[in-house]
Structure 1
Amino acid sequence: MESPVSASQSQPDIKKFIKHMHKKIEEIRVQMFDSKQDYEKLRSEAKSLESQNNAESNDITNRILDELDRLENQFKKQINEEKTEVSFLKQQIASVTQEKIKLEQNCLLLGTRVDEAERVVGIELTLPSIEDIRHF
């Protein structure tokens, strides 16, 4: 048989092993606690950043929508101004067209009167041309 001293030396010291295991477990527990705190901190920062990004996105979206509304109103105003100008120009064209028609009618009437006066007088009247009037 073995001696009691040799038996105790060949077997590991259970108490030391248990203490060592408790120490390792405690270290792991501390690391887990630290990791959990880091995780919670990162999670909180991520939520904060997400909230900030959402707020900035909403702000940018609202600015873009406001600018679009402003551009749309400006465009509508410009269209109305153009319609008014087109209407005015159409009236001017109609007025000028009427004046042209009146002038043409007056020219025809004047030509008829000249023809009639020539028949009555029996001589051909010569009217000065526009070039002759410009020289004066």
Structure 2
Amino acid sequence: MNTLIDKIAWIHLDDNKILSTRSRGKSAYYLPGGKREPGESDLDTLIREIDEELSVTIIPTTATHLGTFHAQAHGHADGVTVRMTCYTAEHHGVPTPSNEIEEITWLTHADRDRVSPVDQLIFDHLHRTGQLH
């Protein structure tokens, strides 16, 4: 049985590095964001998840779709895939770990082996387009 996990991610780049998060008890890093709740739009999910995880406020009018990526879901059985719809957006506040997030860090393309399979695809895309060193 194939199962799809529908996630929204915030792509926050600075100085050709990308903001990534690590949850308590996990070793891999993930782009900030999360699963859509019933009835939520992409933008609703992005705003809620980033506020919950990083205590920053996404500025809705600046959200821009960067791309949608599919891969085997990290830590799930074969056949479970994740669809990661990615947005860039400006924000208010300083990213600070909150809720399940234990650590935030800035990663480069050289760190791609430290992130989930779908994040690796995103890192590769950003590297190819000159946005991630």
TM bin (shorter chain): under 0.3
TM-score of the two chains, using structure 1 as the length reference: 0.14
Higher relative contact order (CA 8 A, sep 6+): 2
| Structure showing greater Rg | 1
By percentage of residues, which structure has more strand? 2
By percentage of residues, which structure has more helix? 1
